Structure formats: structure tokens, C-alpha cells
Amino acid sequence: MTSQRRAVLIAGPTASGKSALALGRARAGGGVIINADAMQVYDTLRIVTARPSVADEAEAEHRLYGVVPAAERFSTGQWVRATQAILNEVDPARELIFVGGTGLYFEALTNGFADVPEISSALTFEVQQEIQALDEPERMALLAMEDPVTAQRLKVADPQRVTRAIAVKRATGRALSSFQDDQRPGLLEGWLVERFVLSPDRDVLRGRIARRFETMFASGAVEEVKALRALNLDPSLPVMKAIGVREISDWLDGVHSQGEAITLATIATHQYAKRQRTWFRNRMGDWPRLGLEGKAL
């Protein structure tokens, strides 16, 4: 009889100590750490995206970190397929440790995921341009014409969701809602799963975020952004939206001082951490909460 496979899911806002907790767990039990952060999949920006260091990666097996070229778009569907391949490869006796801050990835692990086909960036941009001048009622009316079921499900017709729904319909001929209704089971269905959300004190987290950017400036983040800029990438690519890229770029261009760049990046990270907390509260409310780096609350 085959023993049940084991996984640990460690979610939490940025700078909450998730990677340190995962590394300690992997060292103790010989587990494999799998990235569940949408920005840390990209190369070029190890420091800016706070990927594990080379030394950390030498202490335990890490997967899906820095494996996607900055010039590419990596969707949740691609992450799911890459993760499934890892589940098939790794020795079933080894514990898998998923760590990150991207809620959709954890949703795919536990609840399942609607595998929507890739949509070309050209079509997405075309739809973005089409709806750019529309207000919310006009966006909702357009979406209702193309995908009435998705329009009914949306409480707010924000541009990003409307763009995605319309682009999916035009590219595939199928409504986004039909893909969502055909959701596949979670990747870890049938596994023995431990789940945690790191939820440190807000003031402590704010201090860690501020110190993180000061350290990044001193330890190579500027050189990473210079290397990224040298690639002359499409500004709409996900990697170009990583927190710190615009702020450091503006400093390099003389728009801000270094202190202003650090302040702006810190503010943007606070806002991102707040959005992450909201997701975890609304979608992962039943997960046990831990303090900084996994300490009991």
C-alpha cells in the first residue's frame, strides 16, 4: 500500500519570512521547495523579487525559481502544468513545500483551476485600447454583449477583468465563464496537506519592508534593473511591473533621488502586502495563522 504523499503550503504577504520558514522545513526533512510566487519565476531579478539566494538554493532543492526568461509571460495555467510535472518527477516519499504570495497558485493546489488557453499579448493590448476610454457602465455593457454570463458574475467591471474576459472570448470563441465552470480538481487532491498563512504584526512587517529596499539598493538591485532595461522589453510584460523596477528606473533617469525611490518602492510594497492580506483573509480564512517566520501567534 502506497503511503499518502505530503505537502506543506506556506502563504503570506511579502517580507513575512516565508522563504526562511520553508528553508528550515526543507533542511529538517529533506523536502523540495517549490515557488508559488508569480514574480520569482522570472530570471534577471533575483534581488528585486527577493528570490532565495544562491546559498539558500545550495542548502535545499528549489524548483520554479528564475526559470522563465524576462521577455516571456508566464500564466497561472503554465505554473499549474509545470508544477504537475514536478509532482510526477519527485520521489513520492519526499515532502513538497510550496511557498509564496500568489493566491491563485495556492487556489490551484487546493481547490482546482480553470485552464484557460494562452491569449496573445497583441489581442490583449487591442482590447485594452478598445476599452480605455470607457467608463464602468460602458465596460459592463460591452462585456454583456460578448460574454453575458461573466458580466453577470462580475460585481465591478474593472478594466483588467473585462479585458481578460473579452480577449478570451474573441481568441477562443468560448466564454470565460465556460472555462471557469469546467474547473479541474486541485493538484494536491488526496494528499496530506499542512497549510499556513504567515500573518505578522503590521508594524513589524512595515519595518521589514523598509529595510528590505535599503538592503536591495546596496546589494545589487540597481545592477539588475540596468540589465533588465538593456533588454528593451515591452513595458506591459509582467517582469517590468515588479515592484522596484519603475522606482529604480526613475532614479537612474534622474526623476527621483535614491531616498525617494526607496520610499516609493516601500509604499508600493505596503499596498501590495495589503492586497495579499485581503486575499488571504477572504479566500484562505480557515488556514492556520502564524507570526513572523512561522512563530506561533
User: How confident is the model over 157-179, as pLDDT tens digits?
Assistant: 888 889 999 999 999 999 998 88
Facing residues of 98 across strands?
A: 9, 34
Residue 53 labeled ligand binder: no
What pLDDT sits at residue 231?
97
**DSSP for the chain, written as a single string:** -PPPPEEEEEE--TTSSHHHHHHHHHHHHT-EEEE--TTTTBSS-TTTTTPPPHHHHHHSEEESSS-B-TTS---HHHHHHHHHHHHHHS-TTSPEEEEES-HHHHHHHHT-B--PPP--HHHHHHHHHHHTT--HHHHHHHHHHH-HHHHHH-SS--HHHHHHHHHHHHHHSS-HHHHHHTPBPPTTTTSEEEEEEE---HHHHHHHHHHHHHHHHHTTHHHHHHHHHHT---TTSGGGGSTTHHHHHHHHTTSS-HHHHHHHHHHHHHHHHHHHHHHHHHHSTTSPEE-GGG-B-
Residue 15 labeled ligand binder: yes
Facing residues of 11 across strands?
A: 100, 197
Enumerate domains of the chain plus CATH numbers.
Answer: 6-115+185-198 (3.40.50.300), 121-181 (1.10.20), 202-273 (1.10.287.890)
User: How confident is the model over 60-72, as pLDDT tens digits?
Assistant: 999 999 999 999 9
Q: pTM, whole model, 2 decimals?
A: 0.84
Average pLDDT over residues 10-39: 96
Residue 18 labeled ligand binder: yes
Residue 13 labeled ligand binder: yes
Average pLDDT over residues 232-251: 95
Residue 16 labeled ligand binder: yes
Number of CB atoms found within 10 A of residue 30's CB: 12
Residue 226 labeled ligand binder: no
User: How confident is the model over 84-133, as pLDDT tens digits?
Assistant: 999 999 999 999 999 999 999 999 999 988 778 878 878 988 999 999 99
Residue 122 labeled ligand binder: no
Residue 14 labeled ligand binder: yes
Measured in whole angstroms, the distance separating CA 180 from the mean position of its chain's CA atoms is 20
Measured in whole angstroms, the distance separating CA 279 from the mean position of its chain's CA atoms is 12
| CA-wise closest residue to 270 among 45, 46, 13 | 13
Average pLDDT over residues 277-293: 90
